[in-house]
């Protein structure tokens, strides 16, 4: 198979599946991983894909934000491990903010009942989960609820967070990279995440390794503004070290 034929096959697969992995492509195409990386680099230079950790994403699908239902089935085992590790960062007492998202939902699903905490969230599903906890003093941030993510966003939320200080905020992200920090496709969602970051004494991002290297339209935090990234063991040592050097501590669950 000639390089143009191989690259067309890679691009077709990326567009149909939404992501391609170097190791899987090497096996399917019967070539070395280095050959696949060269093909991905060529496709990236032509504007067809964007390289991410371990593979690539088709550019024409990068800004199509997945629904909650779609995200619930993605990296589910990793999200559970991330949530369990993130729970170790909870204070014994004080105020916690939970951003909307499937990984933060996993935190809420496993929220401890042995301590009294104030919890602030913009997620209707997280609020429903924690409303049943007797020892949680729950605050639901208002605003327009985005159907795609179940997150409240907009001026009401931003106004509410202006005078709020929380001990720790757990934030989700659609992508993170050494060069651009934390980013998301939607402007209103980015503004909400930005306000949450500023409201927290300590901001923690919880996100699986498939988001590594992804850069979306709106950045909501620089790496030095995020105290800790809790991700999974699929994140490579080099990227973890680069993130750490840029100001964000990294733990892999």
> For the segment 192-240, what is each residue's pLDDT rounded down to a tens digit?
999 999 999 999 999 999 899 888 889 999 999 999 999 999 898 989 9
The CATH architecture that domain 68-252 belongs to is 3-Layer(aba) Sandwich (3.40)
Which residues make up the CATH 3.40.50.1360 domain(s) of the chain? 68-252
Q: Which tokens belong to 46?
A: 């032509």
Mean pLDDT across 173-184: 94
Q: Quick one: pLDDT band at residue 60, thresholds 50, 70, 90?
A: low
Residue ranges, comma separated, of all CATH 1.10.10.10 domains in the chain are: 3-62
Q: Is the pLDDT of residue 73 over 70?
A: no
Average pLDDT, the chain: 91
**6 contacts 29 by C-beta, under 8 angstroms:** yes
Q: Give the integer Cα–Cα distance in Å for 135 and 177.
A: 37
Tell me the C-alpha distance between 36 and 221, whole Å.
32
Higher pLDDT, 211 or 60: 211
CATH number of 3-62: 1.10.10.10
Whether residue 69 is predicted with pLDDT greater than 60 in this model: the reply is no
User: Given a cut of 80, is residue 63 above it in pLDDT?
Assistant: no
């Amino acid at each position: 198979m000639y390089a143009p034929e191989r690259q067309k096959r890679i691009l077709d697969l990326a567009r149909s599946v939404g992501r391609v992995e170097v190791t899987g492509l090497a096996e399917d195409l019967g070539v070395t991983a280095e050959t696949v990386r060269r093909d991905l680099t060529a496709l990236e230079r032509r504007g067809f894909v964007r390289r991410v950790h371990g593979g690539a994403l088709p550019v024409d699908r990068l800004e199509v934000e997945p629904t909650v239902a779609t995200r619930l089935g993605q990296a589910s085992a990793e999200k559970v491990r991330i949530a369990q590790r993130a729970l170790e960062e909870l204070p014994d007492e004080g105020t916690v903010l939970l951003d909307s998202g499937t990984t933060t939902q996993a935190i809420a699903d496993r929220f401890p009942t042995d301590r009294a905490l104030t919890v602030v969230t913009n997620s209707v599903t997280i609020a429903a989960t924690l409303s049943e906890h007797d020892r949680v003093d729950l605050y639901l941030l208002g605003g327009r609820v985005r159907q795609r993510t179940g997150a409240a966003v907009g001026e009401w939320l931003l106004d509410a967070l202006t005078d709020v200080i929380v001990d720790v905020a757990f934030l989700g992200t659609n992508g993170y990279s050494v060069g651009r920090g934390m980013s998301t496709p939607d402007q209103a969602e980015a503004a909400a995440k930005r306000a949450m970051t500023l409201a927290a004494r300590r901001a923690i991002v919880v996100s699986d390794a498939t988001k590594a290297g992804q850069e979306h339209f709106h950045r909501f935090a620089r790496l030095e503004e995020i105290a800790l990234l809790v991700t999974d063991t699929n994140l490579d040592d080099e990227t973890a070290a680069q993130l750490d050097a840029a100001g964000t501590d990294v733990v892999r669950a």
